[in-house]
Amino acid sequence: MKIYFFASASLAERTRQRQNKIRDLLTRSGITVATNLTPLSEVDATWQDRAEELGQSLLDQMDALVIEGTQSDPEVGYLLAYAISGKKPTLYLMEKGSQAKNPLSYLAPKNIPANILVRTYTDHTIDRAVSELLEQIEHSEYAETPSIKFTLRITPLIEQYLHWKTHNTELSKADFLRQLIIDEVIKKDEEYKKYRHRHTE
Amino acid sequence: MPNKRPKICVMFCGGSKLIGRLNKTLEVRSEPDIARWLDEVPELRIIADLDPVFIFDGSGQAISPDIWIQLARQIKKHYAQYDGFVIMHAFDSMVYTGAALSFMLQNLGKPVILTGAQENTNDDTDEGANLGGFRRLGIRANLINAVQVATMDIAEVCIMFGNRLMRATRTHRNQNDPVNIFDSGSDTLGKVDFGIKLNEVRQRRRRTGLLVRAEISSDVVVTGIHPGMQPQALLSSIGANVAGAILPANLMRLPKSEWAELNRQAQARKLPLILPGFAEHIPASLQYLVPVPRMIEEVALVKVMWVLGQTRSINQARELMTANLADEFLPELEVRQ
């Protein structure tokens, strides 16, 4: 999973420490993190090539966004607009007591979709907020956009079954297989759940 | 940019086709469509306060100089009220409109950003069909990027499409790429990665009195010179009402001995012949043969239309044609045939 973590520019040492903590937390959860805390040149070149090929923003290559918006920054509103438009699971964090205006306040509540989580945080509650996002991604209809490709050779019997199963349905064979892996393999794998739990604590 | 909530004026001039929440296609074909259309993209209001202006329904008649004039005058009318302008526009004629506004809006101190969908109104043309599976991509992202750029520190007429922000006078259509349908080589003004990064070469915001010079002549043709063609034949192919002609092909196809005769006949008709990218020396006495630095083809056409809208004096026209008014001249390294 790939997440873009945006940290608003802050002069406060405490905020910067917290921002680094959020990034570390995401990384420890097994997530590939791209962030404005490091130069763009450190971003995986294949993502950039893909974005260029498709005429897209690098945000389109991400599965989710985490925005630390304790300081007012026009970039925060832009990222939130992009997240709403692209239906990206997004966690919008502000330190408790932050004076920054929440850009979502310009929207009517009915226009703030469920994929946007807004949380104020302290040192003690960051972990929980990040876990919430990861849970949302796991259970959400906005789950990861399929973007990783590999060749799977199948037998004629499997091909026949997939054809029979998806014929006259709106599902493609690939959609069917993806859903099957999520519903019947990942969701039922207790060991994997424990692994995820350990890494999001 | 002052530290207040930005105000952006969104002008509708075609190119507004988007897929709504209920999977229905929506577009602005008349003023009453605007409110519902904007309701489909509420997220834009996170970035700025938006006020819409309806210009043109984007269907049927092709975009025309009348629309360019209307756009320029509307921008002038609302100039003081807004931090920037976004123009929704059909992609197939966007370069022409961008070029026209670049020449018409002088002393521009705020951004004017053209963007739109990759699908036109009633688009059942081959061009629309060639966009294939990419047709539905992009308008929301284009819009968000365009509105964001309109709040930033830039003061140019630009095209925002895909992940590129391009100077309108340096943008050409990529005929072979259904996704990145506009390109400006290495001349991009900005790039979208995780946010929008503007390049240093851009013109920055400034307090200026906007000057609109919207007069434009539609009596311009693009024609060719071919080996063996006589000046008489070349000029007789150009209608009597034409005020200027662009000859993109190399004048060297005409023997030098014929240049004086071509100039004499052009002078008799008061018909300047514009020669984009022509590097050979032409004697100053042949004043109706006007060599100008190379430009994007569409931009060259619009510039000649604009220049001939400003003046019919050959000396003034020559002066304007050879002046780099909106960074329209391509660097030599970017020569395209």
Residue B126: pLDDT over 50:
no
Contact call for B45 and A107, based on CB within 8 A: yes
Contact call for A85 and B141, based on CB within 8 A: yes
> Which of helix, strand or coil describes residue B70?
helix
Q: Which fold has domain B7-212?
A: Rossmann fold (3.40.50)
DSSP state of A186: I
Smallest CA–CA distance, residue A196 to chain B, in Å, is 27
Tell whether B188 is within 8 A of chain A (Cβ).
no
Judge whether B307 and B323 are in contact, CB under 8 Å: no
Place of tokens 């498709």: A54
The ipTM estimated for the assembled molecules is 0.88
> Which of helix, strand or coil describes residue A133?
helix
Q: Which residues of B, range 155-174, sit inside 8 Å of A by Cβ?
A: 161-164
Q: Extract the tokens encoding B27.
A: 């577009």
Domain with CATH 3.40.50.450 in chain A: 2-139
Share of chain A above pLDDT 90, in %: 31
Residue B89: pLDDT over 50:
yes
Out of A40, A58, A84, name the one closest to residue B43 (CB): A84
Contact call for B46 and A81, based on CB within 8 A: yes
pLDDT reported for residue B251:
67
Q: What is the pLDDT averaged over residues A158-183?
A: 85
Banded model confidence at residue B333, pLDDT cuts 50, 70, 90: low
Tell whether A74 is within 8 A of chain B (Cβ).
yes
Banded model confidence at residue B136, pLDDT cuts 50, 70, 90: very low
Contact call for B45 and A106, based on CB within 8 A: yes
Interface contacts A/B by beta carbons within 8 Å:
84
Smallest CA–CA distance, residue A77 to chain B, in Å, is 5
The span from the CA of B230 to the CA of B29, in Å, is: 48
Residues in chain A: 201
Tell whether B38 is within 8 A of chain A (Cβ).
no
pLDDT, one tens digit per residue, over B141-176 is 999 999 999 999 999 999 999 999 999 999 998 877
Contact call for A78 and B144, based on CB within 8 A: yes
pLDDT, one tens digit per residue, over B269-328 is 999 999 988 877 888 899 999 999 999 999 999 999 999 999 999 999 999 999 999 999
Q: Which residues of B, range 15-34, sit inside 8 Å of A by Cβ?
A: none
Residue B113: pLDDT over 60:
yes
Find the radius of gyration of the CA atoms of chain B. 21
Q: Extract the tokens encoding B322.
A: 């050879």
By C-alpha distance, which of B108, B147, B160, B163 is closest to B326? B108
Q: Which of A6-15, B224-233, B247-256 has the lowest mean pLDDT?
A: B247-256
Residue A128: pLDDT over 70:
yes
Would you call A108 exposed, middle or buried from its count of C-beta atoms within 10 A (0-12, 13-18, 19+)? exposed
Model-level pTM? 0.84
Domain with CATH 3.40.50.1170 in chain B: 7-212
Tell whether B47 is within 8 A of chain A (Cβ).
yes
Tell whether B121 is within 8 A of chain A (Cβ).
no
Residue A187 to residues A31, A165, A196, A200, B287, Cα–Cα distance (Å): 19, 21, 12, 17, 79
Residue B334: pLDDT over 80:
no
Q: Give phi and psi for B178, each to the nearest 5.
A: -75, -10
Q: What is the pLDDT averaged over residues B75-101?
A: 96
Please list every residue in chain B whose beta carbon sits closer than 8 Å to the beta carbon of residue A78: 47, 144, 148, 195-196
Tell whether B313 is within 8 A of chain A (Cβ).
no
Smallest CA–CA distance, residue B286 to chain A, in Å, is 46
Share of chain A above pLDDT 70, in %: 91
Residue A8: pLDDT over 90:
no
| Residues whose CB is less than 8 angstroms from the CB of residue A175 and which lie 6 or more positions away in sequence, other chains included | A166
Smallest CA–CA distance, residue A195 to chain B, in Å, is 30
The span from the CA of B163 to the CA of B180, in Å, is: 8
Smallest CA–CA distance, residue B233 to chain A, in Å, is 46
CATH 3.40.50.450 for domain A2-139: yes
CATH 3.20.20.140 for domain B220-334: no
DSSP per-residue letters across A83-123: HHHHT--EEEEEETT-----GGGGS-GGGS-TTEEEEEE-T
pLDDT, one tens digit per residue, over B178-188 is 778 898 988 89
Judge whether B198 and B152 are in contact, CB under 8 Å: yes
| Residues whose CB is less than 8 angstroms from the CB of residue A54 and which lie 6 or more positions away in sequence, other chains included | A60, B137, B179
pLDDT, one tens digit per residue, over B24-64 is 889 999 999 999 999 999 999 999 999 999 998 887 567 89
By C-alpha distance, which of B102, B276, B91 is closest to B189? B102
Domain with CATH 3.40.50.40 in chain B: 220-334
Report the mean per-residue pLDDT for chain B: 88
